[in-house]
Amino acid sequence: SLKINDLCVNCDVCEPACPNQAISMGPEIYIIDPARCTECVGHFDEPQCVMVCPVECIDPDPDVVETQEQLLSKLERLREQG
Ligand code: SF4
Ligand code: SF4
């Protein structure tokens, strides 16, 4: 999963760019739900939120490191949930 750090300026451009609806407004800044973020694997070659973020405040989450295989499995689960 990726993670939004506190440089986020709440511009909201990342939320609609996410193919997995993983991004939402949190208590202070935007947040990524690690249960829904596939790092865009299965959708795009590059993480879309990182591409659109104007302040480069989205980084890999050091607490949720996943392999390509795990990210694809997550995508499968999301698709099953509909
Ligand atoms: Fe959504 Fe992709 Fe960003 Fe993860 S990396 S939050 S799936 S846009
Ligand atoms: Fe925050 Fe970047 Fe998303 Fe804008 S695009 S809300 S600055 S994480």
Tokens of 7: 């440089």
Q: State pTM to two decimals.
A: 0.96
Each domain of the chain, given as residue ranges in start order, spans 2-81
ipTM exceeds 0.90: yes
Residues 62 and 7: their CA atoms lie apart, in Å, by 17
Residues 65 and 34: their CA atoms lie apart, in Å, by 10
Quick: pLDDT tens for 28-79.
999 999 999 999 999 999 999 999 999 999 999 999 999 999 999 999 999 9
One CATH from 3.30.43.10, 1.10.540.10, 3.40.50.12160, 3.30.70.20 for 2-81 = 3.30.70.20
Q: Is 20 touching ligand 1 by the criterion CB < 6 Å?
A: yes
Question: In ligand 2, which atom is closest to the CA atom of 56?
Answer: 2
pLDDT for residue 82 = 75
Q: How many residues does the chain have?
A: 82
Residues 72 and 56: their CA atoms lie apart, in Å, by 25
